[in-house]
Structure 1
């Protein structure tokens, strides 16, 4: 257990226009402070720095703050900028209302109903958002002439999979081999050999770009129904092109709950969890700016998988809304890792929206 002022490393002070806010980044609590309380906290804090006591933490805890002593920042390899954002934007799983009195018989209908109500507000808010200036140079349009162009033209996110269908193992193997497996580049190998006296090491490559060629994204599979592979959680080895089982089977219902209630991945044959290994970035880049690369890299990689799966006539759903800690516990990730993106692949109905989950009194979807 940490002692003294270090207990407050999860907190920061935000000076807004009219007030000072004390913000607990990890637990997402905020308090507006009057001048007397602010001075009181600062006095106790500076006293704790000298004595090692916990007066400031005790004062905050007595006023409703959560003081855990489990400091994530001590294990963070960048500065505090990225730490604030990473922990401050995590979603926490709220208490479940499913099965309780007054709850919807089908939580999928309840969730979709709330989503539809929200969407009805969006068009009015979005007016004027795409007011581009008049073009000066019109550009030509082109017909689709090859498979790659066809994939670009027909790509869309599917939100309705066919329950009970099985993905052929070969298709999953192809996706992992062509999109995720590490490879070397003949050009890079030639360049390295020509300049080996000046260059110590070249990293691995994939079909998508990665910051510093560090390949900080690992792929975890949650297999539901893939030919020849037992349901469970698997870590993909991009060097040896194989799977290591790290967890038991997971129900579609649990995945729905961890996706903040979204029912769109139900029935998918396999889920892909994109996990950033932050320590691979920390080994080379020490400033928070590189934190951006965690999401850019996962985005590049996921889109390659998306397009290739689509070319194999598979439907794909992607999501960035999920309960971080619950997914990370499910995957048994260490403190240097974080899940940053989710994908579901399988046979689908090519539906942008599962209309059967719409509330019976729902009007036209905006």
Structure 2
């Protein structure tokens, strides 16, 4: 009977040798050469398991090989997506608390132990080329009810190429991404000083494991270019000038209408801050959720300020990192969201022309 290899494993080649990952069971194994060669033989030659062979016994004992076919649930997507989802599913837990006191004891112990290590700091602004933004005007957000903003929020692909005021930008950045002084009184007394920053959106572990970068196209009194937003000081640090209109579409996989935006922000995950508290890879899911929360808040705030929004996860990662001068692998750009004045058109000009031509041709044929 032919041997079968577990479909939930993959090999990683490292300077120290080959590591086999069982991403379903969250186990890793360092493979000696003879174990690797045996798996290759089974994969290509379908050899049967030798019941008196130590290598086969070890591999079978760890459920890496079996005499029977492994279950292969229908996934319907690519293998990388499956590795990510299954690999961050069902976190191993040594002990499951049976009551509130026990859970609180375990969680408190984790927090105390984590606090013994220094959390990676937020990105520090440069001492030069720093711009203080005007004081935000939260009162403008009362011009629409939450329900109105929810109804009016719209993903648009046609903008009027009009400038917005620096005051409006300041309000949007502060309400969406700033650390809100107004929330300070509501923080409980047990939260350490270095974790007391609060945005308007929830954040995994209260860590605010994100950085925000502004791409300015059309903002009064602010030159076109890229900036880092500091949520502590509510200020901008200039990174580089980008006066060419085709820069943003080029970064965003040719989505040409992005050049019409007044401004946009790239939101980056700070994985090192997330890993500081959560060592398991499931925390990567939380990083994605953090970015999603910030994106929705940004869109609702922008809508309340009279703008329309557009967002995309399609961008050239390496080129964006170069433009924003992001050099650490522990910081990765995850999403772009932009805003500007618009009449609410959700189809871009070129697509509307093509669809109109198609409709007319199709109507003629029928």
Residue 8 to residue 254, structure 1, CA distance change in 2 (3 Å): farther
Q: 1:160·1:266 contact (CA, 8 Å) conserved in 2? A: no
In the alignment, which residue of structure 2 is the partner of 1:264?
257
In the alignment, which residue of structure 2 is the partner of 1:363?
359
In structure 1, what is the Cα distance between the partners aligned to 2:268 and 2:245?
20
In the alignment, which residue of structure 1 is the partner of 2:61?
none
Q: 1:169·1:227 contact (CA, 8 Å) conserved in 2? A: yes
In structure 1, what is the Cα distance between the partners aligned to 2:332 and 2:242?
21
Q: 2:184·2:196 contact (CA, 8 Å) conserved in 1? A: no
The CA deviation string for residues 240-279 of structure 1, in whole angstroms up to 9 with x for no partner, is: 1100011221533232122222223121111210011111
In structure 2, what is the Cα distance between the partners aligned to 1:179 and 1:361?
40
Pairing 1:1-366 to 2, within 5 Å after superposition? 6-7=14-15, 85=84, 147-163=145-161, 165-183=162-180, 185-189=183-187, 191-192=188-189, 195=190, 202-249=195-242, 251-333=244-326, 334-357=328-351, 358-359=353-354, 361-363=357-359
TM-score (structure 1 length as normaliser) = 0.58
In structure 2, what is the Cα distance between the partners aligned to 1:172 and 1:10?
51
Residue 200 to residue 216, structure 1, CA distance change in 2 (3 Å): closer
Larger radius of gyration, structure 1 or 2? Answer: 2
The CA deviation string for residues 305-351 of structure 1, in whole angstroms up to 9 with x for no partner, is: 10111111111111111122221222111221111010111112310
Aligned-partner SS, 1:288? coil
In structure 1, what is the Cα distance between the partners aligned to 2:214 and 2:144?
31
Structure 2 unaligned regions, length at least 5: 1-12, 24-39, 47-79, 86-142
In structure 2, what is the Cα distance between the partners aligned to 1:314 and 1:10?
53
Q: 1:222·1:250 contact (CA, 8 Å) conserved in 2? A: no
TM-score (structure 2 length as normaliser) = 0.58
The CA deviation string for residues 44-64 of structure 1, in whole angstroms up to 9 with x for no partner, is: xxxxxxxxxxxxxxxxxxxxx
Q: 2:153·2:309 contact (CA, 8 Å) conserved in 1? A: no
Aligned-partner SS, 2:277? coil
Q: 1:217·1:274 contact (CA, 8 Å) conserved in 2? A: yes
Deviation at residue 230 of structure 1 after TM alignment: 1.1
Deviation at residue 200 of structure 1 after TM alignment: 7.1
Deviation at residue 36 of structure 1 after TM alignment: 8.1
Q: 2:153·2:308 contact (CA, 8 Å) conserved in 1? A: no
The CA deviation string for residues 90-135 of structure 1, in whole angstroms up to 9 with x for no partner, is: xxxxxxxxxxxxxxxxxxxxxxxxxxxxxxxxxxxxxxxxxxxxxx
Residue 283 to residue 250, structure 1, CA distance change in 2 (3 Å): farther
Paired positions, count: 240
Structure 1 unaligned regions, length at least 5: 16-32, 40-80, 87-144
Aligned CA RMSD, in angstroms, stands at 3.5
Q: Which gives a bigger RCO, structure 1 or 2 (Cα 8 Å, sep 6+)? A: 1
In structure 2, what is the Cα distance between the partners aligned to 1:303 and 1:178?
12
The answer to which of 233-242 and 351-360 deviates more is 351-360
Aligned-partner SS, 1:266? helix
In structure 2, what is the Cα distance between the partners aligned to 1:214 and 1:328?
22
Aligned-partner SS, 1:167? coil
